[in-house]
């Protein structure tokens, strides 16, 4: 899913400005001139310095140029609305947030809000979709469409900073990268035996309006952990999640019948770049969960 | 829902045998003669002694009389199958277990198993429905229909002992009653403040094949408990349950956004006459649950 | 230890004023006139109303009479200093707080502070000793001796209100009694088996400057509780305590060797009239404790 | 404290046999010939292979040579008994277990048991002192001195295997080293805030017969851990320990006064080469501890 970055920062620093511009051309939506301007300032000490150089370029633009740039961003689109002018990056980001699975009424609402927002603010609603679930995008939209124009313009630029940081770390790998990814991990401990619990099936669901969607699954290893984090290499979309731990098989054969079978842990995340470590300490008759570190 | 018993044991002991017989006539299904025989042995020290007197009567019957008695019990019936010969007690008991909400395929399966079971054992499948959920009745039926005849006959009589104990404690109140009821309770403690958590909405669901069914709800009081137990005055049907604690409102207004909103606790019960105390100790970022006492 | 109250409120209400005065004569230290005045206002709806009537009497006194009354209270005395004019109540209260076990340096300090306090405020240091441990009395004394005179006078009267409430509920039992007693209880649950843990030896220690003092002990019953609370029928002295749960025997015979043997739970109390419920949920490899309710 | 190994396995493998023999001469007590024999079998794939080569040499010895070798080991000696023939390694190992802090009666007992053991078995009591506390050495001695001669001889050789593995990994570093070290670590999580708890003072005590001995201390870092494990690079001596977490300062300033100040966690270890991870999840009013991983 997550592509490895194509270049290391050191490789990039050794390239000619024109080659750097080509690598970074589509980081800022329909604005390759940002990459050209930044390339002139190579080399960069850190990936964050490179990102800052690109953001600085926009910060120096006159107001009407910024407005044209904002207007080059696409509307959020529901299912069946895919437009030919959507860049591959935008298309992937919007699909990742589940916008292609909106219910018809939600899609209608989204289309109405898009029109209304453009009419009110003069540019489209811009949000870093990778940091959100479908429900939290709609919640943000519901809130922001009542904002004041100056704040919305700043918010749009802040979201563009997040969008471009994510695009950048997909292309350039190296020291001092922006903190653009989160992590979700778990750990299963059997406190009746004092041992990690191996072989337990774990499923992660995103609780969406009207149902839950399977996101990923794993099986705990000998240390009671999953071999790789449940989520890594991307932001954790703001949303409500359910981890389901299938203890039934592990606890079977005990007498009397254990109290626990499938244990659901439901929680809400609101820091997409944070590490959420959600362990489960359990016995056949009890469990404890918490945000760990 | 639960009717108060009509008579105290002391009142019953002061009645004429014929009056006692009348009160107890329908405790044993279509077998008022059991009540007549037991009435002759009044007075009774305890309600359990009265129940034993009735069971003793059956224990003394010849085999063919027992078989006729077993055959006077109704089949478990699915929705739309209510038969005119179903006693009010049986009808209520079967509905309580949710048999009137079987899916069509489950109802067909039940009907097929009823026929098969009668053909194999010579009497209907008898189970104390009040101690079971729809799913656990089907699971028991699936298991018992492969049993050997002698064991099934003893199992049927054991189930009748449970059915009649429940019917008896609805009619006669007093010392030494059979342990026919269970209890489900909870307790909410906010361990971040060291105080009981008041005002939290609690809902209890029974997890059935293909969905969950709301059973009862409550709101925690100043001591973090419900004013009355979530289940009391009846057996706890064997099944998988989900307690849902709505912590969202209680924890709102905290920064950063708490990890927890609705906390589901899923557990399986297998002792209908036991006390299941399932507390929740929580903070905005953690919780612990266990079978307490 | 705790004597049963001699009279019920109803009995008291039926007595002649002179008899009431006699019963209550020594509730206020060396001030039987308080009882005489209150007796004239009988009958009383509640024990608290009786206590209020006595406090009202003092509230009506001119300032110099209050000062004489305060001066009729004894100094706190260390070991070997027992004075002939100490009333039996004061003697018992001071001993209960462990003042007779002060170290020589602490006793010297106490004597010096007594002199200094009297010189500064014109009356002795008054504190409801039953609500304190030796260490917390010294800590209070260290704090209050720097107070301003008006505050200290009010504090002394508030302490007398607490002292007399305790003395009153030892003499008069009945509805609406002042909340003068606290409670300390525990509960042992084996969460590896989902059952209360019976037969576990429990000891309660008060952690004093320079060591710990055994206060009381018990053994958990079939419900994992002690038959009577560890502390009841008196205030819980402010202090740091240690509950020691001897799990070693209970967990023995397991393989591998359990992590836990004697589990100490140390905690500090600061609400003498509150209920401190301190359960222990444990397995051979883990435990949880919390302030319950 | 722990010296870095002098040589890597690769360096050793490149040495001449005489140089290898010199490096390893004192791994086996007063038996440099073991090193000479093993050196002839260089190079070694792993440190464990090297250790096995040395053990193999002894396994090939005739019985009387083994007996002489066992007799070249020193007695366990109490305080004031340091003998000139004790090798530096043995001296350090015995002091590490606290044998120089034995009470006079314990020292007398030890001396008596030493004589008795030699008389009974024909060689001194040999134990890998680094894997034991003073109390567990005495407990092992009390148990083993009643053993049968064949078992004791095997036990002595097994202990020598452990002693020499420890000495070897201090001299030779590299792949496939014997698992001779344990680890003790902790982690502090404030579950009221969902954050690691930084700045908390942690002290580790060994609970010895008649008192506790401070072993090491640390302060939790931003991740709620200690910068280095509390114990690492050596076995965890079998014994009963107390971790003391000073939460008082961290929780101060809260109202009402928190229940918790210094939290003692007492536990017993019995696997010297294992990792004991003992976290503390706490709020001002509750805590949970467990053996983690």
In DSSP notation, C247-286 reads -HHHHTT-SSPPS-SEEEEEEEE--TTSEEE--EEEETTE
Q: Mean pLDDT across chain D, nearest whole number?
A: 93
Q: How near does any CA of chain B get to the CA of D287, in Å?
A: 9
Q: Is C233 on the interface with D (CB under 8 A)?
A: no
Q: What is the pLDDT of residue D77?
A: 85
Q: Is the peptide bond before D256 cis (omega within 30 degrees of 0)?
A: yes
Q: D289 φ, ψ to 5°?
A: -135, 160
- Between A and D, how many CB-CB pairs are < 8 A? 30
Q: How many residues does the structure list for chain C?
A: 293
Strands B188-190 and B195-196: antiparallel
**DSSP secondary structure, C185-203, as one string:** E--EEETTTTEE--S-EEE
Q: How many Cβ atoms are within 10 Å of A211's Cβ, its own excluded?
A: 8
Paired sense of beta strands B286-290 and C7-8, if any: unpaired
C-alpha angle C10-C13-C16 in degrees, rounded to nearest 5: 140
Q: Which of D193, D194, D283 sits opposite B191 (nearest CB)?
A: D283
Q: Is D271 in the C-facing interface, judged by CB distances under 8 Å?
A: yes
Rg (CA), chain B: 22
Structural contact between residues D45 and D12, judged by C-beta atoms closer than 8 angstroms: no
Using CA atoms in the order B287, B289, C256, D49, what is the torsion angle rounded to 10 degrees?
-40
CA distance C281 to chain B (A): 9
C-alpha to C-alpha distance for C266 and C255, rounded to whole angstroms: 28
pTM of the model: 0.92
**Rounded CA separation B290/B287 (Å):** 10
Tell me where in chain B the CATH 1.10.3330.10 domain(s) lie.
Answer: 7-173
**pLDDT at C282 (0 to 100):** 98
Extract the residue ranges of chain A whose pLDDT is less than 50: 1-2, 4
- A275 to chain B, any CB pair closer than 8 A? The answer is no
Residue span(s) of chain C under CATH 2.60.40.180 come to: 182-289
Rounded CA-CA distance B42/B39 in Å is: 5
- Burial grade of A80 (CB within 10 A; 0-12, 13-18, 19 or more): exposed
**Residue A272 three-state SS:** coil
Dihedral of the CA atoms C168, C170, C172, C175 (nearest 10)? Answer: 90
Does domain D7-173 fall into CATH 3.40.50.970?
no
Nearest in space to B4 (alpha carbons), one of B164, B173, B162: B173
- 3-state class (DSSP) for residue B195: strand
CB D291 within 8 A of CB C285: yes
Q: In D, which residues are within 8 Å of C266 by CB distance? A: 260-264
Q: Which of B224, B288, B290 sits opposite C293 (nearest CB)?
A: B224
Q: Return the HEC string of A4-69.
A: CCCEEHHHHHHCCHHHHHHHHCCCCCCCHHHHHHHHCCCCCCCHHHHHHHHHHHHHCCCHHHHHHH
Does pLDDT of D102 surpass 60? yes
What pLDDT score does A1 carry? Answer: 41
Angle (nearest 5°) at CA B135 between B129 and B138: 70
Cβ contact (<8 Å) for C259 and D271?
no
Q: Alpha-carbon distance D191 to D281, whole Å?
A: 6
Cβ of residue C255 closer than 8 Å to a chain A Cβ: no
Residues of D in contact with B255 (CB under 8 A): none
In whole angstroms, how far apart are CA C122 and each of C68, C151, C153? 10, 13, 10
> Which uninterrupted H or E stretch holds D271?
none
Beta bridge partners of B263: B245
pLDDT at residue A2, rounded to an integer = 46
Q: Using an 8 Å Cβ cutoff, are C271 and C131 in contact?
A: no
Per-residue confidence band for D85, with pLDDT thresholds at 50, 70 and 90: confident
Shortest CA gap A190–chain B (Å): 14
Contacts 24+ apart (CB under 8 A), D108-116: D109/D138, D110/D76, D110/D77, D110/D78, D110/D138, D110/D141, D111/D78, D111/D81, D113/D141, D113/D142, D113/D145, D114/D75, D114/D76, D116/D145
Nearest CB to D266 within list C240, C257, C262: C262
Cβ atoms of C265 and C242 within 8 Å: the answer is yes
User: What are D2-48's pLDDT values in tens digits?
Assistant: 454 689 999 999 999 999 999 999 999 999 999 999 999 999 999 99
D195 to chain A, any CB pair closer than 8 A? The answer is yes
Element containing residue C68 per DSSP (H, E): helix C63-71
B91 exposure class (CB count in 10 Å sphere: 0-12, 13-18, 19+): middle
What pLDDT digit, counting tens, does each position of C131-151 carry? 999 999 999 999 999 999 999
CATH for B182-289, options being 2.60.40.180, 3.40.50.300, 3.40.30.10, 2.40.50.100: 2.60.40.180
C-alpha span between A51 and A45 (Å, rounded): 11
Enter the DSSP assignment of B132: B
Q: Residue B79's pLDDT is what?
A: 79
Among B289, C68, C192, CA closest to A264? B289
Chain B CB within 8 Å of residue D289 CB:
no
Q: Which long-range contacts (CB under 8 A, 24 or more apart) does C155-158 make?
A: C156/C70, C156/C123, C156/C126, C157/C58, C157/C66
Cβ of B291 within 8 Å of Cβ of C224? The answer is no
Q: What residues of chain A lie within 8 A of the CB of B266, using their CB?
A: 260-264
Quote the ipTM score. 0.91
Measured between beta carbons, which residues in chain C are less than 8 angstroms from residue D290?
285-287
Minimal Cα–Cα distance from A288 to chain B, Å? 4
Residues of chain C with pLDDT under 70: 1-5, 81-83
Spans of chain B, pLDDT less than 70: 1-5, 81-82
> What pLDDT sits at residue A4?
46
Element holding D222 (H helix, E strand)? none
pLDDT at B2 (0 to 100):
46
Question: Which helix (H) or strand (E) covers residue A274, if one does?
Answer: none
Which residues in chain C touch residue D255, judged by CB atoms under 8 angstroms apart? none
Provide the β-strand partners of residue B240. B207, B268
Distance CA B68, CA A254 (A): 39
**Where is D127: in which H helix or E strand?**
none
Helices C149-171 and C47-59 cross at an angle (nearest 10°) of 150
Nearest residue, CB atoms, C291 vs list B194, B223, B288 = B194
Q: What is the DSSP string of B218-263?
A: EE--TTSS-SS-SEEEE---BEEEEEEEE-HHHHTT-SSPPS-SEE
| Cα-based distances in Å from A231 to A166, A213, A217, B60, B102 | 15, 15, 10, 68, 40
Q: Does A291 touch chain B (CB under 8 A)?
A: yes
């Amino acid at each position: 899913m997550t592509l490895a970055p194509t270049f290391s920062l050191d490789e990039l620093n050794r390239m000619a400005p024109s080659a750097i511009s080509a690598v970074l051309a589509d980081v800022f939506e329909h604005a390759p001139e940002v990459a050209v301007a930044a390339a002139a300032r190579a080399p960069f000490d850190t990936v964050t310095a490179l990102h800052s150089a690109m953001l600085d370029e926009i910060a120096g633009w006159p107001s009407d140029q910024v407005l044209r740039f904002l207007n080059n961003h696409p509307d959020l689109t529901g299912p069946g609305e895919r437009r030919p002018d959507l860049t591959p990056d935008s298309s992937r980001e919007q699909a990742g947030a589940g916008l292609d699975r909106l219910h018809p009424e939600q899609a209608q609402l989204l289309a109405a809000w898009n029109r209304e927002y453009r009419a009110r603010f003069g540019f489209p609603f811009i949000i870093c979709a990778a940091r959100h679930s479908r429900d939290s995008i709609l919640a943000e939209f519901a809130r922001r469409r009542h904002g004041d124009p100056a704040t919305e313009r700043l918010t749009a630029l802040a979201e563009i900073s997040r969008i471009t940081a994510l695009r950048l770390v997909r292309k350039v790998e190296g020291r001092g990268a922006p903190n653009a990814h989160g992590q979700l991990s778990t750990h299963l401990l059997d406190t009746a035996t004092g041992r990690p619990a191996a072989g337990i099936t774990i499923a992660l669901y995103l609780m969406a309006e009207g149902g839950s969607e399977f996101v990923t699954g794993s099986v705990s290893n000998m240390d009671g952990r999953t071999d790789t984090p449940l989520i890594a290499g991307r932001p954790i979309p703001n949303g409500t999640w359910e981890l389901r731990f299938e203890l039934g098989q592990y606890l079977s054969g005990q007498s009397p019948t254990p109290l626990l079978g499938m244990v659901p842990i439901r929680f809400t995340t609101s820091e997409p770049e944070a590490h959420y470590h959600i362990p489960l300490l359990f016995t056949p008759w009890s469990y404890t969960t918490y945000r760990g570190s």
